[in-house]
Structure 1
Amino acid sequence: MFQLFLMYFVFLDLSSWLKLYGYDISNMIGSSYTRNQLHQPSAKVSSPQLTPQFNVVSGLQCIVEKEMSLFGEFGFIPEPLLKMETQTRNLLPRVAFQRSIFGEGVLVSRSNEGLALISVVDGDNSVVQDVVMSVFNGSYFLDLHFEQHDKDLFYFVKDNALKQNDDMEELKRLGGMFNVTTHETTDGKELRLLSPEALISIRYGTDPQQERHRLLKHAHKRAVERAWESERSLVSAGSKGARAEWNAEEREELVNRGRVDGYEGQDVHDVSGRRPQLADDPGNIRFHKTPNRKKRNRRTHYKRTAAKDE
Structure 2
Amino acid sequence: MPAITCPHCQAKINVQKMPAGGKIKCPRCAKVISLGRSQPSSRPSAALNPNDEGFDFAQINFPSAGPAPTVSQFPVKNDVTVYAGPIPGDPLADATAEEQSVAAANDAVSGDKKRTKKSPLLIGGIAIGVIGLLAVFAVVGMMLSKKGGGSAGESKVDAVAAVTAKLKPGFYVVDMEGVAVAMPNGSESDPQLRVGKSVIVQSSTTGSMYFFKASTGSKAELDVKQLTNRTKRELVGDLLGVSETTRNGYKGIKGTLATSFYFSGMNMPVEVFNVDGRFVIIGCVPASMGADVETQMSIDRGAEAAEQEVFYDSFTIGSNSGGGWF
Q: Which category describes the TM-score, using the shorter chain as reference length? A: under 0.3
Which structure carries more helix by proportion? 1
Larger Rg: 2
Which structure carries more strand by proportion? 2
Higher RCO (Cα < 8 Å, 6 or more apart): 2
Q: TM-score, normalised by structure 2?
A: 0.20
Q: TM-score, normalised by structure 1?
A: 0.21
